[in-house]
Structure 1
Amino acid sequence: MSGDGGLRERKRSETHARIQSEAVRLFLEQGFESVTLDQIAQAAGVSRRSLFHYFDTKEEIVLSAKAGFPAVVAAAVAARPADEPLLDMVENAFADLAAAPRDPRGVALARLISSTPALAAGDQAKYDAVERALAAALAAQKGLDPDDLGCRLAAAVGVDVFKLATQAWSSGATETPEAVGHAAFARLRELAAGRT
């Protein structure tokens, strides 16, 4: 019986991934507003009714493509040396992520999200989840209480810097996300030291 359950779950995961992949392909080719749920269902080889077993809206399909990002951030923090100061740990973890090879489709998806008001608003929830995961990862790496104020503050600042860098990058800035992030952290340290 567990074999049937495993097969069912694998098929469900494959269908979920196929719907997501086909929807993103259509959105990138035709624009978010132009694509209908019927087109997505047809491209994914499922009925419209079946599509609704996986996703309620087009927005949910797009945003689900970024659902694993909080875990990616937590892993990047876990890879940092535990004796690094908190802000350095956050800056360097995000720099490590930004320096990783970029999937052109991921770049296009980020630009689609930032340029589509309905998606940009929903994307904010991702940042809230990233902030929570980042604070928890910092606390774990440092051996501190999960609600440690320093970890929560470093996470909040880190996520805001990450948003600034992502916005600059997705709007076509010539600087890399790493450069924008490092510049923002440097400016933050100047402000904290009273150098305006």
Structure 2
Amino acid sequence: MTLFLERGFDATTIEDITESADVSKRSFFDYFPSKEEVVFAWQDSFADRLMAAIAARPKSDSPLKVVEEAIVETVAASANERGLALGELIRRTPVLKARDQMKYAKLEHKLTEAMVARGGAGKDVRARMRLLSAIVIGALRVGGERWQERPPEGQLEAFARELFADLWKTLADFGDEAKNRR
């Protein structure tokens, strides 16, 4: 990862990576099918931490509280200099930026499964948790974009809480608008 951050993604070759890590190309490809996968390996750890945070929430918490608290906790725990630099590398590199969008589909699926596991297996539960997951992960994607556009000061946890406050207000406003249309 250090090589990508120092040299840039395109300027770093697989040979550079294997030399730096003192491994053979064969060993490299045993773990990573491409150099892009090296960059995205951290996303799996984010998803794993998010699933653990969801599982750790009290059973009495509502689904909204579970997803908000688990995501805020996981985002705050992931806010380190290296992670933020990696996010910037992804946004600056077109091939990585395109691949980055896949993480949201994976997160949405994992979030749905974790929430269904908490709330039962009924058809309505699955449909509701799938919709909640799509909405929340969409907000997470938009939040990531908004975070990058902000001045560098500020705490990521406070920003995540603000994002959820905006999300719930927007959904309530849309709900009111939908009720008034009838």
TM-score (norm 2): 0.82
Structure 2 CA distance for partners of 1:171 and 1:40, relative to 1, 3 Å: farther
C-alpha displacement of 1:36: 1.1
The residue that corresponds to 2:75 in the other structure is 98
C-alpha displacement of 1:118: 0.8
C-alpha displacement of 1:83: 3.1
The residue that corresponds to 1:151 in the other structure is 129
- Partners in 2 of 1:40 and 1:100 — Cα distance? 27
Structure 2 CA distance for partners of 1:29 and 1:88, relative to 1, 3 Å: same
- Partners in 2 of 1:77 and 1:29 — Cα distance? 35
> CA offsets per residue over residues 101-143 of structure 1, 9 Å max, x none?
6221111112211222211221222211211111111112223
The residue that corresponds to 1:17 in the other structure is none
Structure 2 CA distance for partners of 1:135 and 1:101, relative to 1, 3 Å: closer
> Does the Cα contact within 8 Å between 2:111 and 2:133 map onto a contact in 1?
yes
The residue that corresponds to 1:45 in the other structure is 22
> CA offsets per residue over residues 136-194 of structure 1, 9 Å max, x none?
11112223448711111111111111111112223445564412333233222222232
- Partners in 2 of 1:80 and 1:185 — Cα distance? 20
> CA offsets per residue over residues 29-66 of structure 1, 9 Å max, x none?
11111111111111011223432222222111111222
- Partners in 1 of 2:177 and 2:105 — Cα distance? 29
Residues 1:84 and 2:67 aligned together: no
- Partners in 1 of 2:171 and 2:38 — Cα distance? 35
Correspondent of 1:161 among 113, 123, 139: 139
SS, match of residue 49 in structure 2:
helix
The residue that corresponds to 1:113 in the other structure is 90
The residue that corresponds to 1:133 in the other structure is 110
Give percent identity, aligned residues only.
33
Where do 5+ consecutive residues of structure 2 fail to align? none
SS, match of residue 43 in structure 2:
coil
- Partners in 2 of 1:138 and 1:75 — Cα distance? 12
Correspondent of 1:180 among 132, 148, 163: 163
The residue that corresponds to 1:122 in the other structure is 99
After superposition, the CA RMSD in angstroms is: 2.4
C-alpha displacement of 1:72: 1.7
Residues 1:194 and 2:177 aligned together: yes
Structure 2 CA distance for partners of 1:31 and 1:171, relative to 1, 3 Å: farther
Residues 1:25 and 2:2 aligned together: yes
TM-score (norm 1): 0.77
